[in-house]
Amino acid sequence: MAGASTFGSVGLHPDDVRIIRALQIAPRASFASMAAALGLAEGTVNRRFRRLCADGVVRVVGVVNPGALGQSRWLVRLRCRPGSVAAIAGALAKRDDVNWVAVGAAGCEVTCATQSRDQAQWEDLLGRRLPRTAAVLDINAFAMLRQFIGGRGHYWAALRGVLTPEQETALGGDGPPFRESAVVADDPVHLTAEDEKIYNALAADGRASLVALATAADSTPGRVSRRLGVLLQQGVIHIDVEIAPTALGYHARANLWLRVHPSQVKNVGRSLAQEPEIAFAAAISGPYNIHAVAHCQDLDELFEFTSERIGVLPGLQSMEVSPVLRHVKQAGTLLTDERLVGPGTAVGSL
């Protein structure tokens, strides 16, 4: 992987990339705090951040963790009739219980991730709506069993080294770092009506001020600050920094489906979590027991990465590399022409 030196070639100033990295570490840090850590003027940080958002390069959003609410998460692979993929992917992307949608396999496959808030919502999608869709030829659903990397705290290692250790320390961070753990909490949390209002405001703008959050929740900034701190600490909500990978020069993306000897699943998952190309990795149910998402600059780099570094991992028995033709949605954010365009809408036609 070429690293930070590549970023300038795709239209981003080095300071833009440093700001993105700072947001990964402390997504709700004030512009003044980021400016002090980065050695930039506060106005410069403010201006560059807003341009990055306007250009669809970055978006800061609040994301609820259904596992903390006692609900499992699932990956779903759909094989579709030719010509129907765009409509199915678009309908899935409109659902608020689907937070990631990608088109692959020469345009005949849709992969999505569910984040159902309750069992009824999950059963409605996988038990009724998708099976009744005539254009869907085949459905395979895999429960997530253990997440090794992804979500708040993974910091996408591709940006590692953009800031000095001293700068990262100065930025601190919001909430605890990501820890490998079971996907579903043993002691589920119940969100109050006030929590839901706070979350809805953060889903629209993860950097919304405490005053704005208090207004949305009919509360006070002090109370909202305390409650948000608890939700972040418990891992119920995390503040995610969504990045358009192509803006950073990563044009080849792929779903990796790995079949690993059961005794080596943890070791392989943890090894994947250390690779800069890997943005997500989890143990799953089904014939493949690990799923990962890789970002590379081109297909040649994807080949080198999967053959030389993933292919030699102890315990790996087989691997399917499924290039992503188009990302439609990631972490609740829709994409158009490889740029982030905003949140999805309510449940659509599926």
Indicate the SS3 state at residue 349.
coil
Please tell me the predicted confidence (pLDDT) of residue 258. 98
Please tell me the predicted confidence (pLDDT) of residue 261. 98
Q: Cα 308 to the chain's mean position, in Å?
A: 26
Farthest CA pair distance, the chain: 57
Please tell me the predicted confidence (pLDDT) of residue 38. 97
* Among 95, 134, 128, 88, CA closest to 111: 88
Q: Rounded to whole angstroms, how far apart are CA atoms 286 and 187?
A: 26
Label the pairing between strands 290-296 and 316-330.
unpaired
Please tell me the predicted confidence (pLDDT) of residue 348. 46
Q: Rounded to whole angstroms, how far apart are CA atoms 270 and 282?
A: 9
Q: Rounded to whole angstroms, how far apart are CA atoms 14 and 338?
A: 21
What is the DSSP-derived secondary structure letter of residue 31? H
Q: Rounded to whole angstroms, how far apart are CA atoms 65 and 155?
A: 17
Contact present, 22 and 51 (Cβ < 8 Å): no
Burial annotation 215-226 (CB, 10 A radius, 16+ → b, else e): bbbebeeeebee
Full-model pTM: 0.86
Radius of gyration of the chain (CA): 20
Please tell me the predicted confidence (pLDDT) of residue 177. 52
Contact present, 348 and 89 (Cβ < 8 Å): no
User: DSSP letter string over 115-130?
Assistant: --SSHHHHHIIIIIIT
Q: Rounded to whole angstroms, how far apart are CA atoms 47 and 31?
A: 10
Contact present, 256 and 306 (Cβ < 8 Å): yes
Please tell me the predicted confidence (pLDDT) of residue 119. 77
Please tell me the predicted confidence (pLDDT) of residue 235. 84
Q: Rounded to whole angstroms, how far apart are CA atoms 340 and 330?
A: 9
> Please, what are the averages of pLDDT over each run of 10 residues along the chain (350 residues)?
42 91 93 97 97 94 87 91 92 90 87 84 84 91 89 63 90 63 78 95 95 97 96 88 89 96 96 90 95 95 97 97 92 88 56
